[in-house]
Amino acid sequence: MTAEGEPAPGNPFIGQPGHQPEIWSTGHRNPQSAAIHPDTGKLWTVEHGAKGGDEVNIPEAGKNYGWPVISYGRHYSGGQIGEGTSKPGMEQPIHYWDPSIAPSGMAFVTSDTYPDWQGDLLVGALVGQHLAKLDLDGRDVVGEEKLLTGLGERIRDVRQGPDGFIYVLTDDDPGRLIRLVPQ
């Protein structure tokens, strides 16, 4: 949308019957966070699945990301969601979690403070109670590491501060703001 609240020029569904003109992409279940990739300028999102099927996506104009037709998750009753995990004309996630981690905030690492993490994506985990560090090779997730597992706290958000440090917010009672200091 524009700053004035109008559909952005070039939105893929402007004038399409059955779609709001503000829509960019479809088939998203429950986006929890979004971040702009520092090198490509592309929007990345992290979304809650159902029981399993939490996803990382790079939404592209006019594309359908499947919900509720395809999913790697299951209904909470255990039943299948939709038609399976793939269907022609529907996009696959960049990465998915099964079992669910209940993703929260996310941030790309660009700081020289963490040279081994440069270009990685950090995602908070509420149910998983950890910080997921996704190793990226372009658009591909080539590895994952669970950090802060010993906290035993839900990770609500993660951000890289202007000072170059990574900050993690927990939502326990009381919540904490934690600065990650490299060893």
**Looking at the domain that runs over 32-63+93-180, which CATH code has it been given?**
2.120.10.30
What are the tens digits of pLDDT across the range 29-41?
999 999 999 999 9
Q: Which residues of the chain are under the pLDDT cut of 50?
A: none
Closest CA to 33 of 8, 10, 57: 57
Domain segments of the chain as ranges: 32-63+93-180
Q: Given this model, what pLDDT does residue 183 score? A: 86
